[in-house]
Homo-oligomer: A and B are copies of this chain.
Amino acid sequence: MTQRRMVVVGGDAAGMSAASAARRLKDPGQLAITAFERGRFSSYSACGIPYWTGGLVDGPGALVARTPEEHRRRGIDLRMRTEVTELDLPGQRVRVRDLTSGQESWHGYDDLVLATGARPLRPALEGIDAPGVHGVQTLDDGQALLAGLDGPDGGRAVVIGAGYIGVEMAEALLRRGYAVTVVEKASQPMSTLDPDMGALVRKAMCGMGIDVVTGTAVTGVRTGPGGRVAAVATAAGEYPADVVVLGLGVRPETTLADAAGLPLGEYGGLLTDLAMRVRGHENVWAGGDCAEVLDLVSGRMRHIALGTHANKHGQVIGTNIGGGYATFPGVVGTAVSKVCDLEIARTGLLEAQASAAGLAFHAVTVESTSRAGYYPGAAPMTVKMLAERRTGRLLGVQIVGREGAAKRVDVAAVALTAGMTVERMTALDLGYAPPFSPVWDPVLVAARKAAAAVAAG
């Protein structure tokens, strides 16, 4: 049998999951696997950077799930600090540059996996590249940020953007002793929630001592001595800053793919079929943050940068290249986060997303508790639920609360996947015992209210 060649571009979650899954199915005599990573770390949890920054976890080692050496011992030729600079699809080869030596060479493939990840949005503003302004997308980024942080009472930090990364970094910097200001263009933090739910997050963040400035666009970064960041300038005035973190979200890193003429979607991510094959290309695969995913609720493609999707994509790609069969059916838009003891979760569509998808809906909000009201530690929880008009199909759930709030959204994620109606959800057999839930779980309370709204028309 001829040995086939699998080449992976990007050595993080999607790429190395693909490599590992393929290796489990094919031994090196059947399949040679080479992976190129331009950074210094492989298979790491970028999601852990805020907790490393905040001193909750050690880094960077603890955030690495599998080191380059471990991959190599498993028969994967992982080359670090090696950047792929060009894809030659007709020639079935990639050009790579060794970032240490500067040497370039071509590598042929039978199957090519693109797992190039995402890059943080960095607005074209004066001073945005000044020392002290940090993205937090890679472990290399995290290392650069930590090297620049001062002692426990370090000064002033400004976080630009109040999405998941923004609020998590706000907590981290607060833990490090910084006075933290979060500047957000939108009217509320967490634009991944509806504004009414975002308002709950704002209130809680303010209670933690975080300065939340919303409805305010950043206009520039002012530098001080040595060209280092000194302040963030906004339409509403200047916020002094010893350190600035970019939490504006990310874009798919698809420069190479674009140059090679591969199909990109509305958000700039690679478009694939359900087996994670790039559309129209039999032997090119893409997964993780560089790819768009099908939103099963709206029927649209979206870009969602999340390690859990990247791992699943990699698993699917590697299984298929290894001769097995797997698909990634799509997502329902689940995301969970926390800032201090506040838990924030969503799945499915927001009001604006549902409208944009052409869906009419009823939206209800309920207050409940994480445990039986009389049980110690019962914490308040707000659950918002959207149900389609007439059909009563669940469209989305948002939860803001304390302990026990975030993972409750999983119930809604499964119900969305199954296309369940809110009426059917009212009878779901969810776990009940006083330490874990009121006798009506908060999600069921919301479902009852939503079902009543649907019935009332």
- CB within 8 Å of B: which residues of A? 13, 45, 47-48, 51, 56-58, 62-63, 65, 164, 306-309, 311-312, 315, 327-329, 331-338, 343, 345, 347, 372, 374-376, 404, 406-411, 413-415, 417-418, 420, 424, 426-437, 439-441, 448
Whether A347 pairs with B414 at a CB distance below 8 angstroms is no
Instruction: Kindly provide the distance from the CB of A356 to the nearest chain B CB, expressed in whole angstroms.
Output: 20
Residue with the greatest number of chain B CB neighbours at <10 A, chosen from A336, A418, A427: A427
Closest B residue, CB atoms, query A304: B429
A437, closest chain B residue (CB): B407
User: Copy number in this complex?
Assistant: 2
> Which of B315, B334, B431 makes the CB contact (< 8 A) with A407?
B431
14 A–B contacts from the bound complex (CB under 8 Å)? A45-B374, A47-B372, A57-B376, A307-B439, A329-B424, A335-B433, A345-B431, A406-B436, A407-B431, A409-B431, A411-B413, A413-B430, A414-B418, A414-B430
Provide the residues of chain B in CB contact with A428, threshold 8 Å. 410, 413-414, 417
CA distance A274 to B150 in the complex (A): 65
Given contacts A414-B414, A424-B329, whether A56 and B430 have CB atoms under 8 Å apart is no
In the bound assembly, the distance between CA atoms of A434 and B414 in angstroms comes to 20
How distant is the Cα of A440 from the Cα of B65 in the complex, in angstroms?
12
Contact A331 B417 (CB under 8 A): no
Most chain B CB atoms below 10 A, which of A58, A430, A437, A441: A430
Contact B336 A431 (CB under 8 A): yes
Which residues of B are found within 8 Å of A307, using beta-carbon distances? Answer: 432, 439
Chain B: CB-nearest residue to A374: B62
Q: How far is the CB of A15 from chain B (nearest CB, A)?
A: 14
Given contacts A414-B418, A439-B308, contact A429 B334 (CB under 8 A): yes
Closest to A307 in B: B439
Residues in B with CB closer than 8 Å to A433 are 47, 164, 335-338, 406
A372 and B420 alpha carbons, distance in the complex (Å)? 30
Note all chain B residues with C-beta closer than 8 A to A65: 439
> Taking the nearest CB of chain B, how far is it from the CB of A231, in angstroms?
31
CB distance from A115 to the nearest CB of B (A): 15
Nearest 10 CB-CB pairings of A with B: A418-B418, A336-B431, A308-B432, A414-B414, A62-B374, A334-B429, A331-B429, A332-B429, A410-B430, A57-B374
- In the complex formed, the residue of B with least CB distance to A409 is B431
The chain B residue sitting closest to A56, CB to CB, is B376
Q: Give A343's nearest chain B residue, CB to CB.
A: B436
Given A45-B439, A51-B435, 16 more A-B residue pairs with CB atoms under 8 Å apart are A45-B374, A47-B372, A47-B432, A48-B375, A57-B374, A63-B374, A308-B441, A328-B427, A335-B431, A335-B433, A336-B436, A338-B436, A343-B436, A407-B436, A410-B441, A411-B413
